[in-house]
C-alpha cells in the first residue's frame, strides 16, 4: 500500500509565486510570513532555516521526483517551488491514472474558481468563492456531461462551504452561515443569515460546513496565520451549533485548517484532514488525519502529528511546549507535508467494488512550497473495521514534465447520485467524474512525475 502525500499551504487560492532565479525574493517572503506571528522575526527565521536544513539532511520522502533546475538558488528558494500551471487539454486528461476498472471523465469545464461540491438529487452544486456564487449543473441525459449550467445563488463573496439537509441548503462564506430552500427549479430560495460573526478570514478565509449524525451544524474555521497564538479563540477550531445557528460552541480546537471533514458511515465518528504549518522544510510539518472528538485539542500551533513539538514557535503562555503537547490529542495517520488536503468525502456507495465501501477520498491540491512538488492527486483513505489504516493514490497524473508542471489543482470532492466520485480542479475550472465499470481498463498512461510517493 502506498502512502501518498498531503500538502500544507498558506493562502488557499493565491499562493505566493516566487521566481527560482530570485533567491532574495524567497527570503523576503519567508521573513514576511514568519513576522506575521508573535515573537522575534529574526529568531524565527534562524529557527526555520535550521528546521529546513534538518529536513533537507533527512532526504526527500518522495524518492527521485523532478530534477532541481540548475538555477534553483537557495534552499529557501527551493522550498517555494511551484509547478507551472498548464491548461487541461483532452490529451493530458486522457493520461490520468486510476485503478483498473475505473474511468476518469469530465463533467464540466470552463467553470472558473471551482471549489467545493455537493449533490442534491441529480443536481451537482459548485461553490465559487471568487465570483461569489453557486452553480447548479445537471446531466439530464445521464451521459456524464452536464449540459445544464445555472446560477443557484449569487452575491455571496467568499462562499465556499455547502451542505444539504433534505430540501434545506446551508452555505458558508468567510463571516456568515446562510440557510435556505432548494426550489423546484434547483435554485436556492429564502436564503437568510443564521450566523453573521464568524472570525475574520485572515490567512484561511474559506469555511466548510457539514451536518452531523446528531443533526447539528459543524463549521470549520481555519487559523488566521501560519503559526501564532490566536487572539480569537474560535480560530483554528471546529465549531458546532444548532441548525438555526444558535448555541454555537467550540467542538474541537488546535486544528490549523481542517477544510475536509466527514463522518464515517458505519461508526459515525468525525474525521478530518488538517494542514501542517509551513516553512519547516520539505518534510515538516506533516498533514494529519484526525479523529475529531468533542473537547479535544489537536495541538496547533505548538505541536503537530503525534504530539510532536513544533521547533519554530515560541513557548505557550504559562506552560512549556512539552507539557502542552502531552495534553493534546495525537493524529491517527500522517502523510507528506505540503500536499494541501482540501475536500474529503466518504464512499457509502455500491457503485464501487466492495473493498472501497466506507473508505474516504481526499483531494490533494498540491504544494507551492516544496521541491520536488507533492500532491496534485486524489487519494483514498483505506478504512478497516471503521478505522483508517493507510493512504493509497486513486487518481494521479496531474503532475507532468517530471514534476515541473501541472494541469490541475484539486479541491472539492463529492459522491454523485449514481455513486460516481466527483472532484474539482479550481485552477482550470474542471469537474471530473470517476466511475467504475467491471472489465473496464484503467487509464494507465505514465503520469510523468518520476516520483515514488
Per-residue pLDDT of 396-419, as tens digits, reads 999 999 999 999 999 999 999 999
Q: Average pLDDT, whole number, for the chain?
A: 84
CA dist list (Å): 100 to 355, 380, 441, 442 = 13, 14, 5, 4
Question: Which pLDDT value is given to residue 11?
Answer: 37
Peptide bond before 372: cis, by omega within 30 degrees of 0? yes
Task: Measure the CA–CA gap between 320 and 150, rounded to whole angstroms.
Answer: 54
Q: Is the pLDDT of residue 183 over 60?
A: yes
Mean pLDDT of 159-186: 98
Domains of the chain in start order, with CATH, are: 23-436 (2.120.10.30)
CA dist list (Å): 91 to 99, 103, 407 = 19, 15, 11
Contact call for residues 309 and 320 (beta carbons, < 8 A): no
Short-list 243, 244, 159, 250, CA closest to 201 = 159
Short-list 321, 352, 341, CA closest to 435 = 352
Task: Measure the CA–CA gap between 97 and 89, rounded to whole angstroms.
Answer: 15
Going through 285-376 in order, the beta strands assigned E by DSSP cover: 287-291, 303-304, 308-309, 333-335, 341-346, 360-364
Short-list 425, 429, 415, CA closest to 119 = 415
Q: Which residue has the higher pLDDT, 181 or 52?
A: 181
Contact call for residues 134 and 159 (beta carbons, < 8 A): yes
CA dist list (Å): 64 to 59, 334, 369 = 11, 21, 17
With DSSP H G I counted as helix, E B as strand and the rest as coil, what are the percentages for the chain, rounded to 5? 10, 35, 55
pLDDT band at 66; cut points 50, 70, 90 = very low
Question: Which pLDDT value is given to residue 240?
Answer: 98
In DSSP terms, 419 is beta-bridged to: none
pLDDT, tens digit (0-9, with 9 covering 90-100), for 194-245: 999 999 989 999 999 999 999 999 999 999 999 999 999 999 999 999 999 9
Q: Which of 11-15, 428-432, 446-450 has the highest mean pLDDT?
A: 428-432
* C-alpha cell read off for 445: 498512461
Task: Measure the CA–CA gap between 18 and 322, rounded to whole angstroms.
Answer: 35
Spatial CB neighbours of 310, under 8 Å, sequence gap ≥ 6:
227, 277, 280, 285, 301, 302, 303, 304, 321
Q: Is the pLDDT of residue 451 over 50?
A: no
Question: Which pLDDT value is given to residue 439?
Answer: 53
Amino acid at each position: 500500500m502506498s502512502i501518498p502525500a498531503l500538502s500544507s499551504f498558506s493562502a488557499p487560492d493565491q499562493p505566493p509565486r516566487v521566481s527560482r532565479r530570485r533567491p532574495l525574493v524567497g527570503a523576503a517572503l519567508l521573513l514576511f510570513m514568519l513576522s506575521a506571528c508573535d515573537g522575534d522575526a529574526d529568531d524565527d527565521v534562524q529557527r526555520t532555516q535550521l528546521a529546513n536544513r534538518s529536513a533537507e539532511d533527512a532526504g526527500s520522502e518522495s524518492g527521485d521526483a523532478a530534477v532541481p533546475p540548475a538555477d534553483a538558488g537557495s534552499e529557501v528558494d527551493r522550498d517555494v517551488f511551484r509547478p507551472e500551471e498548464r491548461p487541461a487539454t483532452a490529451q493530458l486528461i486522457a493520461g490520468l491514472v486510476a485503478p483498473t476498472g475505473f474511468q476518469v471523465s469530465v463533467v464540466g469545464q470552463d467553470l472558473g474558481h471551482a471549489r467545493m461540491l455537493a449533490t442534491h438529487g441529480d443536481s451537482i452544486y459548485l461553490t465559487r468563492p471568487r465570483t461569489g456564487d453557486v452553480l447548479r449543473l445537471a446531466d439530464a441525459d445521464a451521459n456524464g456531461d452536464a449540459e445544464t449550467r445555472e446560477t443557484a445563488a449569487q452575491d455571496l463573496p467568499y462562499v465556499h462551504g455547502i451542505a444539504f439537509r433534505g430540501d434545506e441548503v446551508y452555505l458558508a462564506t468567510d463571516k456568515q452561515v446562510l440557510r435556505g430552500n432548494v426550489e423546484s427549479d434547483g435554485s436556492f430560495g429564502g436564503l437568510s443569515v443564521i450566523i453573521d460573526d464568524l472570525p475574520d478570514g485572515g490567512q484561511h478565509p474559506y469555511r466548510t460546513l457539514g451536518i452531523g449524525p446528531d443533526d447539528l451544524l459543524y463549521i470549520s474555521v481555519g487559523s488566521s496565520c501560519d503559526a501564532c497564538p490566536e487572539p480569537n479563540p474560535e480560530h483554528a477550531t471546529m465549531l458546532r451549533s444548532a441548525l438555526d445557528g444558535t448555541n454555537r460552541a467550540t467542538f474541537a480546537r488546535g486544528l490549523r485548517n481542517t477544510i475536509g471533514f466527514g463522518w464515517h458511515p458505519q461508526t459515525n465518528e468525525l474525521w478530518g484532514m488538517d494542514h501542517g504549518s509551513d516553512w519547516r522544510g520539505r518534510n515538516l510539518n506533516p498533514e494529519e488525519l484526525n479523529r475529531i472528538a468533542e473537547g479535544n485539542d489537536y495541538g496547533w500551533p505548538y505541536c503537530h502529528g503525534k504530539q510532536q513539538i513544533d521547533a519554530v514557535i515560541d513557548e505557550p503562555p504559562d506552560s512549556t511546549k512539552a507539557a502542552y503537547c502531552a495534553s493534546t490529542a495525537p493524529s491517527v495517520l500522517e502523510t507528506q507535508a505540503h500536499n494541501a488536503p482540501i475536500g474529503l468525502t466518504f464512499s457509502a456507495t455500491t457503485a464501487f467494488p466492495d473493498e472501497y465501501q466506507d473508505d474516504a477520498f481526499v483531494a490533494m491540491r498540491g504544494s507551492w512550497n516544496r521541491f520536488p512538488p507533492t500532491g496534485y492527486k486524489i487519494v483514498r483513505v483505506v478504512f478497516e473495521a471503521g478505522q483508517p489504516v493507510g493512504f493509497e493514490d486513486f487518481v494521479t497524473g496531474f503532475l507532468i514534465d517530471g514534476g515541473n508542471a501541472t494541469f490541475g489543482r484539486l479541491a472539492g470532492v463529492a459522491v454523485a447520485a449514481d455513486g460516481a466520485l466527483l472532484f474539482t480542479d479550481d485552477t482550470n475550472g474542471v469537474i471530473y467524474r470517476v466511475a467504475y465499470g467491471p472489465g473496464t481498463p484503467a487509464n494507465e498512461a505514465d503520469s510523468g512525475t518520476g516520483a515514488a510517493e
